[in-house]
Chains A and B, each alone.
Chain A
């Protein structure tokens, strides 16, 4: 029980950036899978994709993702997201 609590606390300070379509690694499926586990409930997950966010962002949010970042990466937008979800 205590170990689970520590794991959760540690996981909270971490974040995942997932590509939407990597080989054998579907970002949305991974996000859904992660959200099922208690250790990953509060870990921010940001999807990186070249697909139009108008079409795909909502499905990413529904899958449990925190935000959606369009490729090529806009560094100002990336900064905004980082400051919001994993501030230093």
Chain B
């Protein structure tokens, strides 16, 4: 049986560019479930950005929508910011996935883990990303 050990509010931004706290249009909840890490509980339709308020650096370029996936590194603010910062000489992962939710979720997750991530939704995008990173 999962045990919810913490519930926090988070802001939902319909426009990812408007990510200051005052511009958050709707609120949702995140739950920290023992053994499962943090889960974001909300509807996710369209290009929304979900971000726990405690982890919202003002100038950080946050990734695309995310909800209901495990983010153990969000357990502390400093850990989150450090994990989200791109590092030099980190491995690059190219994701070729047509499902927008699918590739965006992976992009955020892998980015938080410290990887550099490129995505492509179709053959043209994949070819473009590939040639820019993997010169043939």
Q: Which residues of A contact B (CB under 8 A)?
A: 7, 10-11, 13-19, 22-25, 27, 30, 37, 39-40, 43, 48, 71, 73, 75, 78, 82, 86, 88
Contact = CB atoms under 8 A, between A and B. Distances in A.
Contacts of B122: 22-25
B46 interface: no
B123 A27 contact: no
A40 B92 CA distance: 14
B69 interface: yes
Contacts of A48: 97, 102
B109 interface: yes
Given A25-B122, A88-B115, A17 B134 contact: no
A73 B126 contact: no
- Give the top 7 A-B pairs by smallest Cβ distance, nearest first: A24-B123, A22-B98, A25-B123, A86-B91, A19-B97, A17-B95, A14-B92
Nearest to A17: B95
A15 B109 CA distance: 15
Given A14-B134, A37-B136, A88 B106 contact: no
A22 to B, nearest CB: 4
B102 to A, nearest CB: 7
A17 B109 contact: no
B94 interface: yes
Instruction: Count chain B CB atoms within 10 A of each CB in A11, A16, A18 and give the residue with the most.
Output: A16
B44 interface: no
B96 A88 contact: no
Contacts of A25: 96, 98, 120, 122-123, 126
